[in-house]
Every structure is written in structure tokens, then in C-alpha cells.
Amino acid sequence: MAGFSDQPFRRVARLFGADEVVTELISANALVRENRRTHDMAAIHEGERPASIQIFGSDPAVMAEAARRVECLQPLFIDINMGCPAKKVTRNGAGSALLNDPKLAACIVKAVVGAVKTPVSIKIRTGKNHQSKTGLDVARLAADAGARRITVHARTVADAFSGPIDYDAVAQLRADLPQMELIGNGDIHSAGDARRWLERTGVNGLMIGRGAIGHPSVFSAIKRGEAAPSVESTATILQHIDWMEEFFGARRCIGPLRGHMMYYSKGLPDAKRFRQEVTDLEDLKELKELIARYFDQKKAAQCAA
């Protein structure tokens, strides 16, 4: 979710009924070095609360110091990422690389728990691959070290973002840690997906990540037991752009805007042409006009169908 779950997108998610949100993963090293842009990534808008801050790193002392520095922002949880498979994260021993070293993962949890009063949570995968489900070991050790919540993306690192969801592994973790708050994540796009997760695993709640990019109304649709619309309303998309402009500034918001338009237009007619036009334009006002015309037309066509 790096580059997508920024503050403006989290505000849109809350607008559509997400019970809480979490930041994109934030480098503990950069926080400790007082990198200004990294601190901006951790900022929480009052309109998005309750919100958690997710940090990543491989040094227990640095992770503890980073947690102390963001605690003043009053997050709901300080979340430790132990599931990201991106090489730029894992090559430094962070993210899903920690699943290969359960003892180090537990040391990080213990250090962060001891450094802050804010509850600590972790985000994991089931393991390195289907032959090595060490994620479950990390979860048990994290619970012993004081973690208050565990979110499981029910795939291995080798699976990346495809392949079947391992409901059985999560159900086993539910049985092993009956008192732990357990959150399920992976392939949740509809009310049917949500029901399947809850029925097969007994988790306390669900986290929707990639399924919400381009479809933030998925949260309210699932709560209503309905299918999310294939086209988000023009008003929703323009509100998202206004919040991007507010957060990034008129010039810097154009890059993130283009990324989000790729997803808002995914699967729609004339999407390739629309995306090229979005790429070609540099003026934010012209971009807003183009986007409004395109999604007005697609929404009208959807309603007429």
C-alpha cells in the first residue's frame, strides 16, 4: 500500500465507513534521522481518526526510538510491519524478512512495547513459503512479548499478492491465541469475501488494502451486504483530489493523483485513452476538468444500463 494509503486516501476510506485506518509503512530509520518527508507521512488528520501508524525496521533500539517519536501523534496502535515482501524493505532485514528470524521479531516487539504506552500491533504473512509457516511462530512470540493485535495477510511471502488464501493457517492461529485480537487480510472485495473470512477463521475483524484502491466505497458496500459500484461517483473522486491537493500541494499531488486514476478507471471503457490524457496534462485545474468529464460519462452509462 506504499504510495496509496497516504493521508488523503485514508480520509476517503473513513468517509466510506472504514472503522479505522493505518498509515503506509514508514521507515523507523528515517523517523529517527528526523527526515521531514517521513514525518509528514506519519501525520494524522483529525478526520481520519481512529488511525494507527505503521513502522518498519530491523533494529530493536531504532524501532523503539521511532515508536517514541510518533507516539505524540496519538495513534490508535503503533503497528510493526513484518509482512511487506518488497525488496527495498526486506534487503535490510525488515518487513517479511523478520519472518525468517522469529527471535529478532520478538525482540523488536518487546522493545517497542517497552518504549511506549500506546498499544502495539504487528502485521505478518503466514511465512516465507508453504514449507515454512514461521509467521505463526512470530505471532505466538509477539503475543508473549506484549503485542495487543495481530493482522495476518493469509499468504506467504512467495505468494506475493496472488494465490489462494490460507484460511486454515489463520484458524489455527485463532485456536492457539484465543484471547488475541486477530485481524484477517487478503482478497477482500465484497460482502461474500468478508463472510467467508469470518466464517472460516473466527477473526475479530478484517483489513482491506488493495481491494479499496479505486473502490473506497467497498467499506460501506460490505457493511450493507451489497456489491460495490463499478464506478465511484465523480464527487468522491474530486473530494479525494481536493484532499490530495491540501496535503501534497498543487504541484506535488499530480504524481499521486495519476496513480489513483489508474485504479479508479480500471476496467472502464476508454480507460487507456483517459490514462494517457491524465499523464499528458500538467495543470491541476485541467486535470480536474478531464476527470470530472470522464467519470460523469461513465457513471451516467452505469445508471442507464
Q: Which residues are catalytic?
A: 84
CA-CA-CA-CA dihedral for 233, 239, 242, 248, to nearest 10: -100
Q: What's the count of helices (H) and strands (E) in the chain, helices before strands?
A: 14, 8
CB 24 within 8 A of CB 42: no
d(CA 9, CA 22): 11
Count of CB atoms within 10 A of residue 103's CB? Answer: 11
**Hey, what's the cell of 197?**
473470512
Cα 135 to Cα 87, 109, 128, 153, 177, distances in angstroms: 18, 14, 8, 10, 14
